Amino acid sequence: MLAMMARWAIGFITGPLAAIAFLVFAIASLLLSVLLALLLVKVRGLPALAGMLCGTGAAGLALLARANAICEITYAGCGGPNFTTAVATAFGLLIVGVGLTFAQYIGTRARVSI
């Protein structure tokens, strides 16, 4: 169980890096994030991928919320873009990550109890 949590934490740490890279480099970082996800699955397994999805979704939501809050605070005629698609994508990644984490947890608990 502790090993699964450590692998999940490694994935969770890489998630915000993927989210920030996506905001900076867009499509090129999307390909890099997919390669990183494949590497995480190969080296650390599905718990790392679940952590990465949770970290990417949470960081994406946090960055988008911060950008929206700064735009609201400055009152400088800030007309930010429509964040609906980005928020839906980040929320979707978070939900998939939580679901995959829950599935891994249930699977680990079932193996431990046998």
At 31-80, the pLDDT tens digits run 888 888 898 889 888 999 999 999 999 998 998 888 877 777 766 667 66
User: What pLDDT does 92 receive?
Assistant: 93
What is residue 67's predicted lDDT score, i.e. its pLDDT? 80
- The CA-atom distances, in angstroms, between 5 and each of 16, 51, 66, 71 are 18, 9, 29, 37
Give residue 107's pLDDT band: very low, low, confident or very high (50, 70, 90): confident
Whether pTM exceeds 0.85:
no
What pLDDT does 50 receive?
A: 93
Residue 92, both tokens: 């979707």
Q: Answer for the pair 50, 97: CB distance below 8 angstroms, yes or no.
A: yes
What value, to the nearest 5°, has the Cα angle with vertex 84 and ends 40 and 96?
A: 30
* Cα dihedral value 15, 17, 19, 20, nearest 10: 160
What is the rounded distance in angstroms from the CA atom of residue 40 to the CA atom of residue 93?
16
Q: What is the pLDDT of residue 36?
A: 86
Other C-beta atoms lying within 10 Å of the C-beta of residue 109: 11
Residue pair 67/96 in contact by the 8 Å Cβ criterion: no
